[in-house]
Structure formats: structure tokens, C-alpha cells
Amino acid sequence: MWTRIVSKVALVVPLLLIPSVALALDMEFYVWGGHDAVVNAFGKLALIFGDNAYQSFYFVVITAGLFFGGVTVFARSLGGANSSVMSWIVPTLIGIIIYLALVVPKGTIHVYDPVFNKDQAVGGIPDGVVAVAGILNKIERGLVDIVTTAGDPLNYQTQAGGKGFLGLAQLTSIPLSAVESNLDASLRRYARDCVAYALMNPNAGLTVDELRKGSTNFITSLDKAVNPAIWTVYYDGANPQGEALTCTDAWTNIKGALTPANLERNIQSVCANLGYDVADAASLNQCKTVLNNVNTGTGLGAATMDDFLRQAYISQRLEEVFRSGNAVGATNYQFLLNASGAMKSANEWLPILKAALTAIAVGLLPFLALFIPTPLIGKAVGIIAGFFIWLTAWGVTDAIVHQFAVDYANPAYERVRQTKLGMDAL
């Protein structure tokens, strides 16, 4: 018996003498939404493991594990039960080896979010955590790539949480306004005075159907309302009280003011609501790309997001003047809003919820790591691995659900495509 004990100790002791110098691991960790929460979690983890007080506490736990393990073996021996010293020394020694090999060496984990196009490296993470998180996340990325279509503008990698769909929904539901607020008033008066007259004038060639469901560019449609014989009121910074101009002259000024810069704040507001940093040019461009991918991927008809925004802005001004009063249409629209509200909330918060649970799992690692140099090593390592396996399964499931939602959305957008980008569609 003693021969076996000595042989096992002979195998273990040299491992304890191995210097705790190992290669620092560098691995990627992809998240689809919730970048900041995950980065903060790993940052706090690095601070905890790098704190001298935590390291001192770790040695206290090792000592306590050895002591209570010895007490347990001694108590069992007094009771006449068969008990071996190796039953508690070996698990403890294995735990210490794992600590020296996977906790003491520190690596770096690179957190990348394709949705927000953010990338940040977090150093000081134990190699064991880097390895487990990085390998399982790589498996998750591989499975996500399998269930999504490469090159699809609506793929999960950039549209997780339905960012683009939610952004377009906001652009068509929130009040839009120009930086130069006088443009809002001028466009309303042009619609009331000039467009209304053109709709009643057969020679103008402008019809209600064209405005409702036949126009992908309101600029071209409203060009038909110019008339040097009809007058309207035009507002600008020089004449905030209004200036009488012909429909021709007023439309020339209005069309010149309908620039992307004059409507930019609307895009910035939506992007900020979606979680993008609008003060960062790269982040804002990423948001515009995500929104435009939905525009082109669903075949809405706008050439760019600037064109879509301008179309939505003009549509709201026309709607303010030409309210249909269609009670049935209003009821159906409200029903769709109520029905989609829960789905929008779920899409918006699911990535954040996953990021929060990832942060919780990462936050529990320092506590669970304390049990590694004890006989509870198996359970501690199992729970740590279980956390990341569960998060991996969540990510794959989320990608599958996203793909199903996109496939379902395409037929739903057919009605929008049929009405082009007219007032009915927007």
C-alpha cells in the first residue's frame, strides 16, 4: 500500500516544482450585442485575480482544505472506516497544480462585437478562463456561421437583436424633424397650398395613389406641384415669420434644404437608442450600415439610408396635412403596433440579458476558483465549464431564432414593397 502511495506522490511532487511560468494565452471572445457589459465583467475579473488580498485568501483556502481534509480522514479512521490519506491529498495537490498552471499565468481575451463593430482587449485574465471561454466561444461562432447565410445583409452576426429592423421601425414611428426647424413649417405649407392644389389639377399629373403607394421618391412626386401662379408661405432663418413665395420658388428652396446634414439628427437619435456611440464616427457609420442592410435586404426601394430618411420625413409632413381619417386603417395599424411591441422588446433586451448573464457567470469565477485546490475541485470546474457551455447554447439558439424571424419577415415586407415607399408603407 505504501508503495502505491509513494509512487503517486512521486508523480505529483515534480509537478508542484514546475515553475509557474507559462505562455500567456490570447483568444477572441465574440459577443453579439452587450459588448460593454462583457468587457466590464472581464475587467473586474482581472482586477480580482490580480489583487494581492485575493491571492493571500487563496492560500488560506488551500491550508483550510488540507486541514479539514486531514480531520475528515482522521475522524473516519477513528470510526473504523477505511480511509486513505491519498483520498484528500491527491485532489488537493491536483487543485494546486491546476491553480499554478491555469490561474497564476495570465492571458488576454479580445472581446469583439460585430453588431457594434467594437473590439477591446482585456488583459490579466487567468489562462484557464481564457482557454475555456475562448474555445467554447469559438465553437459557438462556428455553429452560428453554420446556421446563418454568409454574406446575407440580414445575418445574425451584424443584425443580432434585430438592430436594423428596430431602427427602421423607429425611423417610421418617432417624430422626425429637420435641424432647421423652419423647414418643417415650410414643407407643411407647401403640402397644404401647393400639393393640395396639384392633386385637384389634372394637368399636374399628381395623384393620391402616387403619394400613397406609387412613389419611391417624394422629391420627384412633389416636383409636379410647382406652379408659378399659386402662392404659399416659406419660412427660414431670415424670415421666421414667413415670406410669400410662389410654389415654384418655395419648392426650389425646400428641395435645396432637404439635405442629409439637415436630417442627420434623426439618424443619430435612433442610433443612440439602439446603443451605438453617435459621437464616434466609426460607430455611427456601423449603425447606418446595419440600417441600410435591412433597407436593401428587404427590398424597400431606397437607394441609401439618407434617401429612406428623407422619404420618411416628407411622408410625416404630408400625413400631418392629409390625414385620411380611415378608422379601419388606424385600428389595424394600432393592432400591429400593440402586437409587435412585445416582440420588439424581446429582440431589444435579449442580447442585453445574455450579456448580463455572461457578466454574472464571469463574476462568479473568482468564488468558484477558490474551491479548485480542495476536494471540491470536480464540482467547481464542472460549474465553470457549465456556465460557458450554457452561454454557448444560448448564442446558437439565438442565431437560429433570428434566422427564423428574418425568413418570416420577408413575406411580411411584401406588402411594404407593393406600396413602394409611399405614405401607406411608411
pLDDT bracket for residue 216 (50, 70, 90): confident
Q: Is the pLDDT of residue 331 over 60?
A: no
Q: Is the pLDDT of residue 65 over 60?
A: yes
Q: Same structural domain for residues 314 and 239?
A: yes
Q: Which range, 170-184, 247-261, 362-376, 407-421, has the best average confidence (pLDDT)? A: 247-261
A 10 A CB-CB count for 38 gives 25
Q: Same structural domain for residues 193 and 307?
A: yes
pLDDT bracket for residue 323 (50, 70, 90): low
Give the pLDDT confidence score for residue 324 in this predicted structure.
Answer: 46
pLDDT bracket for residue 11 (50, 70, 90): very low
Comparison of pLDDT for 208 and 151, the residue scoring more: 208
- Report pLDDT digits (tens) over 101-154: 878 889 999 999 988 888 999 999 999 889 888 998 999 888 888 877 655 667
Q: Same structural domain for residues 289 and 365?
A: no
Q: Same structural domain for residues 138 and 287?
A: no
Helix, strand or coil, per DSSP, at residue 106: strand
pLDDT bracket for residue 228 (50, 70, 90): very high
Pair 401, 410: CB distance under 8 Å: no
- What's the rounded Cα separation, in Å, for the pair 113 and 36? 9
pLDDT bracket for residue 73 (50, 70, 90): low
Give the predicted TM-score (pTM) of the model: 0.70
Contact residues for 386 (Cβ-Cβ < 8 A; gap 6+): none
Q: Is the pLDDT of residue 425 over 80?
A: no
Domain annotation covers residue 418: no
Give the pLDDT confidence score for residue 27 in this predicted structure.
Answer: 93
- What mean pLDDT comes out for the span 187-205? 90
Range with the poorest average pLDDT among 201-205, 338-342, 422-426: 338-342
Q: Same structural domain for residues 31 and 143?
A: yes
Domain annotation covers residue 258: yes
User: Strand pairing of 118-126 and 243-246?
Assistant: unpaired
Q: Same structural domain for residues 119 and 212?
A: no
Q: Same structural domain for residues 295 and 405?
A: no
Pair 168, 409: CB distance under 8 Å: no
Give the pLDDT confidence score for residue 357 in this predicted structure.
Answer: 82
Give the pLDDT confidence score for residue 336 in this predicted structure.
Answer: 39
Would you state the cell numbers that stand for residue 95, as one nine-digit string? 487543485
Q: Same structural domain for residues 137 and 40?
A: yes
pLDDT bracket for residue 84 (50, 70, 90): low
pLDDT bracket for residue 14 (50, 70, 90): very low
Domain annotation covers residue 334: no
Domain annotation covers residue 419: no
Q: Same structural domain for residues 55 and 137?
A: yes
Amino acid at 379: K
- What's the rounded Cα separation, in Å, for the pair 413 and 298? 7
Q: Same structural domain for residues 103 and 143?
A: yes
Q: Is the pLDDT of residue 417 over 80?
A: no
Which residue range(s) make up the domain with 34? 2-147+345-410
Domain annotation covers residue 87: yes
- What's the rounded Cα separation, in Å, for the pair 141 and 157? 9
Domain annotation covers residue 62: yes
Domain annotation covers residue 424: no
Q: What whole-number percentage of the chain has pLDDT above 70?
A: 77
The number of distinct structural domains making up the chain is: 2
H-helix segments, 83-126: 86-98
Q: Same structural domain for residues 80 and 208?
A: no
- What mean pLDDT comes out for the span 368-390? 83
Domain annotation covers residue 417: no
Residues facing 111 on adjacent strands: 29, 120
Pair 295, 311: CB distance under 8 Å: no
The DSSP string of 217-240 is -HHHHHHTT--TTSEEEE--SS-T
Q: Same structural domain for residues 189 and 120?
A: no
